[in-house]
Structure 1
Amino acid sequence: MLQPLQIPPVETAASREGFSSGDRVRRAGGQPVTLPPDGIVQEWATLEYDPTAWRCIVTWGGRYIGRFEAHEIEHDNLPQ
């Protein structure tokens, strides 16, 4: 008999590792051409398959979503 897969719940946080919801960010080390330059932090969340790993959820251009570790992004303090 098949046993149901036990998936741990995803935890979320508004702020971790110096980045908070609403912060403007860019990719550390340069912006790939494939992403718009304006990134906004949405929240932090654990991974479904690793509940101890936190990733920063960022939207690029208001529609492209990515999950990043803190060392992969930096604050974008350029004037709008």
Structure 2
Amino acid sequence: MKALSRIASLQLSDDLLPARIGQGLCYLAAPAVLILAVRALSRSGASHAEIVIGLLAASAVSIGLTVLGTLTALVAELRRR
């Protein structure tokens, strides 16, 4: 039973690997949001004001994803220390 509890308490990986995966996904999603937003807005037949508002919203989401990816890596690095 002691060996089983010792095996169960082993850590398979540190927090850095999932943080790097999350960072990469955030960095990949940021330009994808912009590309898909431009494509959707161009096909929707929206007015100029709606296009501007949509592009501003997509830019805000893209910047938020980039900041989230950066903060994820920083927090994982700080936890490791």
Is TM more than 0.5 here?
no
Higher strand content, 1 or 2: 1
TM-score by length of 1: 0.23
Higher normalized contact order (CA 8 Å, seq sep 6+, divided by chain length)? 2
More helix by share: 2
Q: Which has the larger radius of gyration?
A: 2
Q: Give the TM-score normalised by the residue count of structure 2.
A: 0.22
